[in-house]
Amino acid sequence: SDLQKQEERGELLQPLIFVLLVLCSILLYFKVSLMDPGFVKPEEEVKEGEDKGQGVVIPQIPGDIKLRRCGYCLVKQPMRAKHCQLCQHCVRRYDHHCPWLENCVGERNHPLFIVYLSVQLVVLLWGGHVAWSGLYFEQSREWLQHNIFLLVSFLLILIFTIVVLLLLVSHLYLISCNTTTWEFMSHHRISYLRHSELENPFDQGIILNLWRFFC
């Protein structure tokens, strides 16, 4: 492969960068999976935080919609929060529960989740290129026996690349609209969206949506 040839020639910069990207991807995985995604604490502990977190002006939402108390953990849910039965907590700006991370993606770890997907996509694309560069095709049984592992690896990398790319693109689209996966999928069941005059009362334009999310 290309990296192997560079290593043999003593050119270690690209192999080192590839290894560092893989390590960065692993560290991001554990960071996103182990951190608090934005669990809602008892209201007396987060009263000040709620006021700060809900500082975005949303005049289109009817005033008769009040914050409700969760029927599972009995905390008062802020706007856009949802109870996750797998984590057994209410999560601020709940997006979804990721089975690969075994954690929710919410207000606190959603930006890091996007960074993780981006780094993972770079690693997969680079890994796919490395696997492809090591393949040379011949129509013989001996060739298949010697290259079956590399061929299967390339096909798996290709599948995961497509999955991660679609996931990243879909999340970036939702972020640019200032909506979450849960709100997008369950729009008709969410009171503050169902009774709103606008389809998405949180949308403040692509630039401002991206700025508020990442900055």
Known catalytic residues? 98
SS3 content of the chain, % helix, strand, coil (to 5): 55, 5, 35
Measured between alpha carbons, how far is residue 37 from residues 69, 81, 175 in Å?
Answer: 20, 11, 16
- Cα 93 from Cα 78, distance rounded (Å): 9
Measured between alpha carbons, how far is residue 114 from residues 120, 168, 181, 199, 203 in Å?
Answer: 10, 7, 13, 25, 19
136: which 2 tokens?
Answer: 């040379």
Residue 85: Cβ-neighbour burial (10 angstroms; 0-12, 13-18, 19+): exposed
